[in-house]
Amino acid sequence: MTCETLTADDAALLFTWYDRHHRDLPWRVSPPMARQGVVADPYHVWLSEVMLQQTTVQAVKAYFDKFLRLWPTVEDLAAADTDDVMKAWAGLGYYARARNLKKCAEVVARGHGGRFPDTEEGLKALPGVGAYTAAAIAAIAFNRRSAVLDGNVERVISRLYAIETPLPAAKTEMRQRVSRLTPADRPGDFAQAMMDLGATICTPKRPTCALCPFRMKCMALSSAVPETFPIKAAKKEKPVRLGAAFVAIDGADAVYLRKRPETGLLGGMTEVPGTDWSARRDGETSVDARPFVAPWESCGTITHVFTHFELRLSVYRANVADAPPAVGGWWEPIASLKRQALPTVMKKAIAKAIPHAFKPG
């Protein structure tokens, strides 16, 4: 048995399951809320979808709440200082998203009167909004019949059809199948139901197939091999890059910080001085690369994994009673480091040199 087309009865089974077992998420209009007349806020949907790119729901919840407290509307976010946005984003990773988030808010506020476009094509014209995000916003915020394909939906679709083509090559076929499966009625709820099905039932390991509303039509289940899907192409081994980080502390318990260039990896974020490493090349690792003369001492090495490479930084610390002039940077009290736009890799480097830097109290 196959599921080449999703019948009204099949959609009803999925909606029945979703109405009972949906996840309650801070950006979501749940089925009970919808029945009471609550409608999705496009700003909330867009903000959550950008944050959820390459990031877990659990990690995003606190950041979503923080952003809404600081900037309740897209106009508020558009008017915010970029440095404040980067500080609020710090720790969430993939920092180009934060820069595009600010640019997109400005375009929506100034070019669209604070209203998000309600079509996929219109949404894709916004900064930082790709095909998936545009489809998700169109479906969830505007109830457009859009093919929404995230990692959870990929897993559900690959198992329903036992798709043998490895990812990422299989994405085109998956998107076509999702497009055919999406009903005209409640397409936003259908997209979210498929996401929830993948997140809670059709999980990567030990899926609870007995509870799945599609169990009678799942080709992978009928072959007793659901966990083998989706098939993924062999991953290339990540290259290891080397560099150094220098943590200087003055007599007032302040750390020397500077801002990275606006473009490139970690663009616009705050850092301690370091060597010129990148995804394609190593930086210097010895104390000879120090930013200024001081009694530098080795604190060991930290490791941080980026999407395409692993970085190993040799960390050095120096206590400087007479702090040199803050040329191109500033001295930040240790007590306020948490409020700076420090990416995780820089927090690791500072914590290696100052173990108490980010601990409560």
Residue ranges of E strands in 137-290: 240-250, 254-259, 270-271
CA-to-CA dists, residue 108 to 76, 89, 244, 262, 297, angstroms: 11, 20, 40, 22, 49
Whether residue 245 contacts residue 314, with contact meaning beta carbons closer than 8 Å, is answered with yes
Degrees, nearest 5: CA angle 352-355-357: 105
Looking at the DSSP bridge assignments, the partners of residue 243 are 313
Degrees, nearest 5: CA angle 226-227-229: 75
Of 104, 181, 101, nearest to 139 by C-alpha is: 181
Instruction: Compute the distance between CA of residue 23 and CA of residue 30 in angstroms, rounded to an integer.
Output: 8
Instruction: Compute the distance between CA of residue 346 and CA of residue 247 in angstroms, rounded to an integer.
Output: 10
Which amino acid makes up residue 67? F
Count the residues in the chain: 361
To which H or E segment does residue 311 belong? Answer: strand 310-320
Residues carrying an active site annotation? 49
Please confirm whether the linkage preceding 230 is cis (ω < 30° from 0). yes
**Other Cβ atoms within 10 Å of 361 Cβ, number:** 4
- Distant-in-sequence contacts of 33-40, Cβ < 8 A, 24+ apart: 34/189, 40/140, 40/141, 40/142, 40/188
Which amino acid makes up residue 140? I
Instruction: Compute the distance between CA of residue 37 and CA of residue 33 in angstroms, rounded to an integer.
Output: 7
